[in-house]
Structure 1
Amino acid sequence: MTCFRPAILALSLTTCATSVQAQTHPIALDEQLTLSPIIDARLRWEDVDATSRDAHAESLRLRAGAELTHTPSHISFLAEGTGTTHFGSGFSGFSYAAPSDQYRPHRATIADGSAVALNRLQLRYATKPLTVTIGRQRIVLDDQRFVGNGPWRQTEQTFDAARVQTAWGPLQLEATHAIRQNTVNGGDGAPRAHLRGDFTFVNGGIATKRATLKGFAYLLDYDAAPFLNQPGARAQLDSSQTYGLRANGSLPLGHGASLALAGSVAWQSSYGRNPNAYAATYSSIEPALTLGQHTLTLTREVLGADAGAQGGAWSFQTPLSSLHKFNGWADMFLTTPANGLRDHSVTLTGKLPKVKALPRLTYTVAHHWFDADLGGAHYGKEINASLGFSTKPINWLLKFAQYEARGFGLDTRKIWVQAEFVF
């Protein structure tokens, strides 16, 4: 297990690196044109202690770019690059064999490999009732369970796509067709740096002040790989069609209290070039009680499995999700086990009383219990905890995850210390 010295070094380096403050408002080039700079610097120390392997990584990520907006035409053009570098080699950047010196199988995986890439390059037409976006872009749908940008990793997930969003009063509808998924593995992560195919996302419903009801359809057809035993062929097995409903709402209880409820149901089956034939279901329900500055959330999420699937049991998969957000921060279930997954969790979040040395202090504490959907075997349990605070212009985060294996994976402990400056 590594010591905390890299973390302290990382924090002090970030303080120096982000001490120069950037312009905080769009720059008017003339009466019709504005230029909005984009700067996002994030320095992170991550330490992993697994049963048989450990790892530590000190990484610096910088995103920079600008958006040019022509107000009369409602058209904007955005270009943004991203780069990640490291101060050591004590980790494996990939969990699979990759033709890169960042693949170090004797180390635990920290999926923040060094990378330089074009993160976004998009043209957008935006009015109140209609928005059309074409190019490499960030796509975040609902709670990110099915489609998201994977914001926790240093390299985010983006899509080469055309997207249309419309709204008429409470009615909302959007449709996207993408031909490439640019993954969090970065440019050095072949054969999974990016994945091609035909991806269609349709999402729409009614949104009011107190409640939202949406239906969705996500059709993923990954290009075929020459041989199914190649690392990149995993995506072909993720070709699927998913249809579902999501609802959420809130009810004020008075005296600073409120009750919220969110839930989803979905049905998934094989699609396109997937050589397997399966059908599985998904469900989640999340009641949350807020009292003042604190919220208690109970979650039951089930990613089902099909015992009679062609080639053996197969489960509900979410390959485009912001995966770190779900099923524990130790990232033990980025791919749903073949027998499915039941995740029961309790989470407490909130703001702590003002502390002069730690302004805007927030916290999260969670406990997960993991079981198989088929057979009900106990996989393990996990504790998560985090503290965040802000000393403008830097946001700080301390984060911890401890996974205790029972029938799946290995005992794993992860610690993060992070500082971020966003313009």
Structure 2
Amino acid sequence: MKKITLSAVAVLTLLPNVLSAEGFTLLSDAKFNGELRPRFESVSIEDSTKKDADAFSVRATLGLEAQLLGISGLSMKVDGTTVQTLGGTHYNDLSPTKDASYEIVADPEQTRFTQAYLQYKYGSTTVKAGRQILNLDNQRFIGSVDWRQMMQSLDAVSVTNTSVAGLSLSGAYVYSYATVFEEPTWDSKSVIVNGTYKISDMVKITAYDYMISSEKASYGSDTYGLALTGDLPVAMAKVAYRAEYAQQGDATFKTIGSVKKENDATYYNLDALANISGLLVGAGYEVLSGSTGSDGKTAFATPLATLHAFNGWADKFLATPTGGLKDMSLSLGYTAPGLGKAMAVYHDFETDKAMSEKNDLGSEWDILYTNAIPGIKGLSGLAKAAYFRGGDVSGFDKDVTKIWLQLGYKF
């Protein structure tokens, strides 16, 4: 499969020169893109019976975008991505051949098309059909999980429209999707609707309705909400804020398999980040409601989100605990041209509803430094660490340490 996929991408790079003749061109105005991303990741868990994980991996992507058949507005896009290990697999990659004696790093070796779609633009409307990357808003509900070496792709028909000044409308029907793991494509019958209206730099309103069903998780729900975002000038600072509320109920669109019948959960988030001449100071409070197990409620779920970006980089909360999650965070950092970006983030975690009469889900320190590497356009470096200190709730009571070193080159 790997050889077939990479060969197909290689052939596509030659098509603009091969498939053309006088008066007819299959592909024109070809643009190529690519990425190389080598990474080291280590994982250590307190009192674990498993060996510490040390993962050396590299992601390579090669893509082609071109106009199609000489028709104005019609184009195609194909990206092929491979993930390979360097120096052996000393981690549990969650693949069918996983080594369960190690801690988990969710980057299995695999090769596939991460995008392959047709696109048609007519005025302010764009339609895409096929495998595509879809990132909406801050990716809290719909995202490509780009932090992992293999990203998440959606097989969908999507439409965007920007014909009204300040208004952006997006809709998609997702009929299947491919996760970050080496596994079959999962069926879905999901409808995604998102609308954003920018009143000014200080106020942008986003309304959404995500009717999601997942064969993989035997899951179906309807999540609808409202978010206010913007940048506020306050004295010498520029304050970026987000205020959001969402309700999650029963699936209102056709679901797949055996799904939860009684979804009843809420979500809200308040956060702000002040930039004072490069000094970054922020705070946030996010709540995903939970259940006591006997109150008829469910834990708020986000099955298609870019989860690593939220609730700490140690990834302890990729699935919402039964009792829900409250995440209070404080951040401090600095950013400046040439100096890059440095950030330290502190999280304090609690349940929304007690689990076995306990609420403490632990705390976490996250540290990041990233910068462009001078001399080579498109090359950047990153160092990152997560230190999770366990609480008293079972399953969240062990300390976790994760460290990453990464280079990224895009062309």
Q: Tell me which interval the TM-score lies in, with the shorter structure as reference length.
A: 0.7 to 0.9
**Quick one: structure 1 residues 127 and 360, their matched pair in 2 at CA, closer, same or farther if it must change by over 3 Å?**
farther
1:246 correspondence with 2:227: yes
What code does the residue aligned with 2:279 have?
A: H
Which residues of 2 match residues 8-47 of structure 1 at below 5 A? 33-47=28-42
The RMSD of aligned alpha carbons is: 2.2
CA contact (8 A) 1:91 1:104 kept: yes
What code does the residue aligned with 2:84 have?
A: T
Match of 1:144 in 2: 139
Query: How many positions carry a matched residue from both structures?
Result: 368
2:178 equivalent among 176, 182, 200: 182
**Quick one: structure 1 residues 409 and 239, their matched pair in 2 at CA, closer, same or farther if it must change by over 3 Å?**
farther
Q: 5+ residue gaps in structure 2?
A: 1-15
Which residues of 2 match residues 63-142 of structure 1 at below 5 A? 63-69=61-67, 73-87=72-86, 88-94=88-94, 100-101=96-97, 103-127=98-122, 129-142=124-137
Structure 1: how far apart are the matches of 2:122 and 2:91?
46
Match of 1:299 in 2: 284
Structure 1: how far apart are the matches of 2:156 and 2:59?
24
CA contact (8 A) 2:262 2:297 kept: no
Match of 1:227 in 2: none
Structure 2: how far apart are the matches of 1:245 and 1:337?
24
TM-fit CA distance, 1:204: 0.7
**Quick one: structure 1 residues 402 and 66, their matched pair in 2 at CA, closer, same or farther if it must change by over 3 Å?**
same
1:204 correspondence with 2:189: no
TM-fit CA distance, 1:214: 1.4
Structure 2: how far apart are the matches of 1:260 and 1:84?
35
Structure 2: how far apart are the matches of 1:263 and 1:127?
34
Structure 2: how far apart are the matches of 1:349 and 1:148?
25
Matched position secondary structure for 1:116: strand
Structure 1: how far apart are the matches of 2:400 and 2:159?
42
Q: 5+ residue gaps in structure 1?
A: 1-25, 224-231
Matched position secondary structure for 2:353: coil
Matched position secondary structure for 1:239: strand
What code does the residue aligned with 2:186 have?
A: L
TM-fit CA distance, 1:72: 6.3
Question: C-alpha deviations, 1:189-215, integer Å up to 9, x for none?
Answer: x3xx43212011001131233121011
1:406 correspondence with 2:391: yes
Structure 2: how far apart are the matches of 1:43 and 1:82?
13
Structure 2: how far apart are the matches of 1:370 and 1:324?
15
CA contact (8 A) 1:86 1:114 kept: yes
TM-score w.r.t. structure 1 length?
A: 0.82
Match of 1:5 in 2: none
1:221 correspondence with 2:213: yes
Matched position secondary structure for 2:308: helix
CA contact (8 A) 1:278 1:308 kept: no
Match of 1:334 in 2: 318
Structure 2: how far apart are the matches of 1:251 and 1:72?
44
Between the two proteins, what is the percent identity of the paired residues?
A: 29
TM-fit CA distance, 1:269: 2.2
CA contact (8 A) 1:47 1:57 kept: yes
What code does the residue aligned with 1:382 have?
A: E
What code does the residue aligned with 1:397 have?
A: L
TM-score w.r.t. structure 2 length?
A: 0.85
- The 4+ residue runs of structure 1 with deviation greater than 2 A are 69-72, 269-273, 306-310
What code does the residue aligned with 2:93 have?
A: G
CA contact (8 A) 1:132 1:163 kept: yes
TM-fit CA distance, 1:141: 0.4
Question: C-alpha deviations, 1:169-193, integer Å up to 9, x for none?
Answer: 12221110011121011xx3x3xx4
Matched position secondary structure for 1:318: coil
What code does the residue aligned with 1:175 have?
A: G
Which residues of 2 match residues 313-332 of structure 1 at below 5 A? 314-332=298-316
Match of 2:6 in 1: none
Match of 2:263 in 1: 278
TM-fit CA distance, 1:75: 1.7
Match of 2:8 in 1: none
CA contact (8 A) 2:265 2:300 kept: yes
Matched position secondary structure for 1:324: helix
Matched position secondary structure for 1:329: coil
TM-fit CA distance, 1:294: 2.2
